[in-house]
């Protein structure tokens, strides 16, 4: 599922959503999976990436909280 590229690993193969895309969504204010979906459109095709996207979101939110 993960393929490295210049914007991080691809987490949603159907829509080419990367970990960098998820990070930008969080930086723009996304705090829930639904908000990340609205920003990136991830997991709206086959949905197989949803668990990975949620894990990345949780990781990024925890990272942001530690930096505060």
Write the pLDDT tens digit of every residue in 40-60.
Answer: 999 999 999 999 999 999 999
Q: Is 60 exceeded by the pLDDT of residue 3? A: no
Cα 49–Cα 53–Cα 57 angle in degrees, nearest 5: 175
Query: What's the pLDDT score for residue 68?
Result: 85
pTM: 0.87
Cβ within 8 Å of residue 35, ≥6 positions away: 25, 29
The pLDDT value given to residue 12: 96
Length of the chain: 68
Q: What strands lie across the sheet with 17-18, from one edge to the other? A: 4-5, 8-12, 17-18
> What angle is formed at CA 66 by the lines to CA 3 and CA 49, rounded to 5 degrees?
30
Each residue's pLDDT tens digit, 7-36: 899 999 999 999 999 999 999 999 999 999
Q: What pLDDT is attached to residue 4?
A: 55
């Amino acid at each position: 599922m993960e393929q490295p590229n210049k914007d991080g690993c691809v987490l949603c193969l159907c829509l080419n959503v990367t970990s960098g895309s998820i990070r930008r969504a969080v930086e723009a204010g996304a705090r829930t999976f639904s908000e990340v979906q609205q920003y990136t459109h991830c997991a709206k095709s086959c949905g197989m990436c949803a668990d990975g996207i949620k894990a990345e979101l949780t990781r990024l939110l925890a990272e942001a909280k530690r930096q505060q």
